[in-house]
Structure 1
Amino acid sequence: MGIVPVSLGTKNKYLEVNMHTKNKIAAVVVSALVAGLAGCSTASSPDTASATQQAPSATQAPSANNDPQLAVQYNLDVNKVPAENFDLSKFKLNTPRDDNKPERAGKVMEIYKPMLNDKANPFSDAEWFYTDSITGAMVFASPNKAMTTPNSKNARSELRAMLSDDYSSPKNNFTIASTDNAEAYGAIGGHMSATMSVDWVSTSGDYKKNGAFATVIGQIHGSKNEPLKIMYRKLPEHEYGSIYWNYETNALGDDYSKRRDIRHEVFGQSGLRQGSEDPVTGIKLGEIFSYDVNVEGDIMHLTFTKNPGKPNQEVKTYDIDLAKGEYQGDKYDQGYANDWMYFKAGTYNQCNTGSSGCANNGIEAGDYSKVSFFKFSLDQ
C-alpha cells in the first residue's frame, strides 16, 4: 500500500491507498478529496524547509497534450504507472511532500528504489508523479513552495540516479575517466536521454529573477556543484519559452563563493525581462523536444533536438571537457576530474516564494511547474 499525504490546514494527515493506476476507485477518491481540500488555507511559514511546509492541495494539473496517438507513437500504456512504462530501476524519487517515514521525519518525501519499482504495487502520486491518462507520458509536477531538500529553496518532483543500494558508497555515483581511482565508482561516464514537453511553468514571479517562470528538466550534479543544468523558462505573456543549459564552475574550498553559472542558449533566449520580445525561435508549452547527455571519457556531449523526427527538425550539439577546468577562462573552475556525479531528471521548479518572488496559491492559480516525458533512458 502506498501512503499519500494530504494537507488539512496546517496538520499533516495521511490516507492509505493503493497507488496502482489500475485501482480506479482509489484514484478517484484521492482526487476528489484533494480537490475538496483545495480551498483550505495554511498559515504562512518561512521559506526554509520545515515539517509544516506542504504542497498546496489542488486538483491534478491539466494536460498540455490531448492526443491519444502519442501513447501509440511512444508505446505507452495509459493504465500503467511510470515505472511500468519506463525503466526506473536505477532511480529514487523526490516529491514535494513531507515524508511520513519515521527515519525521514521533517524531510522531503523520498521514494526509495524498491518502492518506486515495486512490481506488485509500483509507486505513483495522483498530483505530483503519475501517468497521463491520455498520452501515457510520465508526468512530474511541483508547486512553488513545499518541503525541499536541505540545500535548496526550490521544490521538486525529480528522479535521482542511484547506481548502488548504499547511498554513501562511491559505487552509487559516476565519475569521468581522468579521476584518480575511477574504477572505484559505479560507472565511468553515462548516457541519459529524454523526449519530453514542458507543460507549464509558474505565471507568478519577479521578472528580474532568472528563477521566476523557470524549471530545471535535467541535471548532472557533482559533490558540490553542477556541471549541467538544463533549463526551460517562459514569461507569462509570451507564447514561446526558451531552452538553455548552465555549466557551473567547480570552485572549491576558500573559492567556493566564486562559483558561477555559465549559460548557453539552445532554443530561444535566456535572461528575458518584462517587455522583452517573444523568443519565437524557442519552444511552446506542450511542444515535444529531446535532449541527450552522453558523458564519454572526460567529454560531456550534449544534443538538443527541436521537432524530433519531423521535416523541420533542428539539432544543436555541444562538447565540453569536464576534466580541463578554467572553463571559458574562469580561473576558479577546477573542472570535475576527481569529483563524483549523478544524473537527475524531472521538474526542479526554480520559482519559490523567497528569492524569485513567486506566489503559492495552488495549481488553479498557475503556481506550479509540470513536465511530461514520452521517452526516457539511462545507460550506466
Structure 2
Amino acid sequence: MLKIKKKSRLKTILFITSIFILVSSCTKTSKKPDEKQNSKPVYASDVTPFFNDWKLILGDGSNVGFANNFEHKDFFYTVNDGENNWVVYKAPNGGNTHGTSNNTRTELAQVKKWYPATADDQLTATLKVMNVSSTGDARVAASYAVVVGQIHSADGHENEPLKIFYKKFPGHKKGSVFWHYEINTAGDDNSGRWDFSTAVWGNDFSVVGETENTYPEEPKNGIALGEEFSYEIVVKNGVMILKFTSKKHETKLFSKNLIESEYTTKADIPLQTQALFVPIGQDGVEKENGYANEGCFFKLGSYNQTNGKSPEVNKNWCSGAETHNGDIQKQYADGNYAEVWFKTASIVVSKNAVSNEGYFTKND
C-alpha cells in the first residue's frame, strides 16, 4: 500500500510539473505586443530606395533634405494596405508654401539637373490618389486637383515642361488624369506664360463647372480614388516621351519636343489656351528652342493644386477652398487636403546631369 501511494504521489507531482512547463511555454511565445514594439519601422526609403537622388519638401514649407530613414506623421510616412507597403505624400489646402508657389506640397525634388538636348533621363512611378480637396470653386480649373509628377526648369523663368495631374469633382466616383506643357516664355517677362492640357483618362484641365457649386458630367473612362496607375517619363535627345498604364484602362503614349517650339507666334496659341488663359492676360509666345538651354529636373509627390486664394486673383489657379486659416488638423478632418500613395518609383540619371543645388538655395 505504501508503494502504491508513493507512485500515485509521484505521478501527481509529474503531472503538475508538466502543466506548469506548458503554461510557461505558452506565456513566453505569446508576447506579440512586445515583438511589435521591438520591430523595425518601415521608412519611405525602404519602400522606394532612391532617396539619395532627391531632397524632400514638406507640406509646411520646410526642406528636409535627403529623406533616408525619415518620416513625418502629418506629411510623409508609410502604410501597408494588407498586400504592399506604400509611401504617403500628404499636403493641406493651406499652410506655408515653398518658394514662390501659392500651393502646398509634400514633394521630392531631384538634386541633379539635366539638359533636354543631351538628356537620357527617366522617371517611373506606380501610385494611387487617395484624396483631393473636398472644397473649391468648380469654375476654377485647378480645384480638386493634385500634381503627382513633374519636370521643372531650374534656370531662366523656372517654368514646367511637364505636370501630371489627377482631378476629381465632389460627388463623382471617377476623376481624370491629364498632363500639362507650360511654355518657356520668350523675353524677360514671364507673366504671359500659359499651359496646354492633354487628357490621358477622363477630361483635361479645361473641363470645369458652370457655377461655383455645379459640376460637369463625370468622365466615363476616368480613374477612381484608390485606383492604381503608373506613369513613365523618358527624356532623350530633346524629346519627352510619356507612357501611362492602368489595369482597366487603355495604355496611352505621348511625345513632346522640348527643344523646338511649336508656339513661337500668337497664331500658334491653341484654342484651349485662348479660352482659358488669354482672357486673363496670359498670351505669351515661346522661345524658339523651348527648354534647350535650361537645366531641368524631376519632381514627384503630392503637389496640392487647390488653395484658399480668391478666384478673382486668377480664375484658373485660385480655388477659394477651405483652409481653416492654415490649421492642418482641421483641414485633414474635413477632407481639405491632397494625399497620394506611391508603391514603386525609380529614377535614371544621365551622365551629363550636374548639381541642382542652386535651385534649393533660391527656393529655401
Instruction: Report the TM-score when normalising by structure 2.
Output: 0.71
Partner of 1:244: 178
Q: Does structure 2 retain, via aligned residues, the 8 Å contact 1:175–1:189?
A: no
CA drift of 1:80 comes to 1.2
Residue among 160, 179, 193 paired with 1:259:
193
Aligned residues: 271
- Kept in 1: contact 2:221–2:249 (CA 8 A): no
The answer to whether residue 251 in structure 2 is matched with residue 315 in structure 1 is yes
State the alpha-carbon separation in 2 of the partners of residues 128 and 344 from structure 1: 16
Alignment of 1:76-95 (within 5 A): 79-86=41-48, 87-95=50-58
Q: Deviations over 1:131-166 (max 9, x none)?
A: 013341011000001110121110000000102xxx
Structure 2: distance between partners of 1:302 and 1:92: 24
Contact kept, 8 Å, 1:196 with 1:372, in 2: the verdict is yes
Which residue does the alignment assign to 1:302? 242
1:149 paired residue number: 98
Is the Cα contact below 8 Å between 2:183 and 2:195 reproduced in 1? Answer: yes
CA contact (8 A) 2:89 2:302 kept: yes
More helix by share: 2
Per-residue deviation, residues 311-355 of structure 1 (Å, max 9, x unmatched): x45201011110001349348111111011110000000111112
Q: For residue 126 of structure 1, what is the aligned residue in structure 2?
A: 73
- The residue matched to 1:199 in structure 2 has which SS? strand
SS across alignment from 1:259? coil
Q: Secondary structure at the match of 1:196?
A: strand
Matched, 1:347 2:302: yes
Residues 221, 23 of structure 1: CA spacing in aligned structure 2 closer, same or farther, 3 A cutoff? farther
Pairing 1:109-258 to 2, within 5 Å after superposition: 109-113=62-66, 116-117=67-68, 122-134=69-81, 135-163=84-112, 173-177=113-117, 188-222=119-153, 223=155, 224-258=158-192
Q: Which has the higher relative contact order, 1 or 2, with Cα contacts under 8 A spaced 6 or more apart?
A: 2
CA distance in 1, matches of 2:291, 2:235: 12
Equivalent residue, structure 1, for 2:346: 377
Aligned to 1:276: 216
Name the CA shift for 1:129/1:251 in 2 (closer, same or farther; >3 Å). Answer: same
The percent of aligned pairs where both chains have the same amino acid is 34
One-letter code aligned to 1:237? G
The 3-state SS of whatever aligns with 2:62 is: strand
In the superposition, relative to structure 1, how do residues 146 and 275 fare at CA in structure 2: closer, same or farther (>3 Å)?
closer
Larger radius of gyration: 2
Which residue pairs with 2:319 in the alignment?
356
User: What is the rounded CA distance, in whole Å, between the counterparts of 2:332 and 2:148 in structure 1?
Assistant: 19
| Alpha-carbon shift at residue 291 of structure 1 (Å) | 0.5
Backbone CA RMSD of aligned residues: 2.2
Change (3 A) 1:244 1:23: farther
Superposed CA deviations along residues 240-272 of structure 1, whole A, max 9, x for unmatched, are: 100000000110334522211001011001223
Gaps of 5+ in 1: 1-21, 27-76, 98-107, 164-172, 183-187
Shift of the 131–159 alpha-carbon distance from structure 1 to 2, 3 Å rule, reads: same
Q: Is the 8 A contact 1:78 1:131 kept in 2?
A: no
Q: Is the 8 A contact 2:47 2:344 kept in 1?
A: no
CA distance in 2, matches of 1:24, 1:130: 18
Deviation track 1:144-196 (CA, whole Å, cap 9, x = no partner) reads 01110121110000000102xxxxxxxxx11122xxxx6xxxxx241000011
Of 265-274 and 234-243, the range deviating more from structure 2: 265-274
Q: CA offsets, 1:12-63, max 9 Å, x none?
A: xxxxxxxxxx99879xxxxxxxxxxxxxxxxxxxxxxxxxxxxxxxxxxxxx
CA contact (8 A) 1:175 1:341 kept: yes
Q: Secondary structure at the match of 1:123?
A: coil
User: What is the TM-score when the length of structure 1 is the normalising length?
Assistant: 0.68
What are the ranges of 5 or more consecutive residues in structure 2 without an aligned counterpart? Answer: 1-33, 270-283, 310-317, 324-329, 350-364
